[in-house]
Structures are given as C-alpha cells and as structure tokens.
Amino acid sequence: MRILLIGATGKLGAAVHETLAGRGHEIITVGRRGGDLRLDISDPAQVTEAYDRAAERAGTLDAVVSAAGDTPFKPVAAMTAEDYAAGFRGKVLSQIELVRQGTARIAGRGSFTLITGVLSRDPVPTGSAAAMANGAVEAFVRAAALDIAPQRVNAVSPAVVTESLAEYGDFFPGVKPVDLAQVAAAYVRSVEGGQTGQVYEPV
C-alpha cells in the first residue's frame, strides 16, 4: 500500500514507520521537523499541501496514518481557555481534518488510522485536556465510520509506552505500560484489516 504517515519523526511514529515499511508498504512521512514532507497538520492549509505533495510523489494513497497530537498537561485550575483550545486543535481538529480532506484524496476502499490514548478511559491528574481530546477523537471515529464507508477509519488508543517511561511515566502512576511493538501491531491491524469504527487498545 501507499501510506501517508503523520508524526513519523516521533518515537511512536518511527516504530510505526519501521513496522509498516517492513511489511512492504511504501511510506511517505510527514513531520514538523523532519520526514519526506515538513508540515504542521494543525494548519488545514498544510493538510491540503500534504495531500497534494503526496499525490505528486506516489499517486493515489491507500491509507493515512496519524501518530501525532499534542495536548497540555496542567491541573484544571491552571489551564486557560486557550490551553484547552490548543489541545483540541492539536489532537482533535488536526486529525479530523486529515479525514475530512482525505476522503476525496485516498482510494475508494482506503483507510484512516488516528491516535488517541488511555486517558479517555483512565484519567490521571493534570490530564483533562488529553482526556477531552482523546474522547473527542474516539467519538468522531465511531460516527465518521458510518459516513465514509466503504472507506474505513479507526483509532489506536495506547497507554504510556514502555520506551517513554523515563520521560512520561510520572504522568501515569500505576498505569501498565505497553511496548511500542504492540502499539505498532495495532496500526497494522487497522491498516491491513477490514474493520472500521474501532478503537484499538494495545495490551
């Protein structure tokens, strides 16, 4: 398949890239600071540019995969209205825009795989913006699946990954980590499988 991978330079994105490429797929990578295309998908105009430039490189895409989305971590009392808006733009609207624009740009039976996270179902202190964003993406996936068939859309919702415990483990006290390889396998399931409207929780 020809796959557009968003967030390819991060730890998760790199693992997903390696896994999908290892299975014989052609990957076009997108990142803010690296990749084949250096773009910021929180800007709808740059989403359009990503699709245009990917089409120039590879023709019609078969799948779009997202491993990117930023949200702030602060106690509710320390959050501002802009903090919540930034979290919504960074993880929700950016990924919705990938699907909204992408339905006309990918193969008729192509797929989208978005990223959410454990905090929508198992929140932690300071994680209200992430929980909000994750829940919104998951609700969108379930609803959008009804509209875009036979194209498909799913989400991957991992816990904190084992390889990032040193940086983020303190935010997830008592949460069982998951290996990057398990998360990457969930992306494979979404890209190569036949399900839609699913939220995969790697364990």
pLDDT at 36: 95
Total-model pTM: 0.95
Strand, helix or coil for residue 58? helix
- Classify residue 188 by burial, with Cβ atoms within 10 Å: 0-12, 13-18, 19+: middle
pLDDT at site 169: 84
* Model confidence at 166: pLDDT above 90: no
- pLDDT confidence tier of residue 112, bands split at 50, 70 and 90: very high
Residue 203 confidence (pLDDT) above 90: no
Residues in the chain, how many?
203
Examine residue 150 and say whether the peptide bond preceding it is cis (omega within 30 degrees of 0).
Answer: yes
Give the model's pLDDT for residue 201. 96
- Taking all residues of the chain, what is their mean pLDDT, rounded to a whole number? 95
Say if residues 177 and 159 touch (Cβ distance below 8 Å): yes
Using pLDDT thresholds of 50, 70 and 90, give the confidence band for residue 167: confident
Confidence check: pLDDT of 199 > 90? yes
Residue 120, SS3 per DSSP = helix
DSSP 88: I
* pLDDT over 90 at 31, yes or no: yes
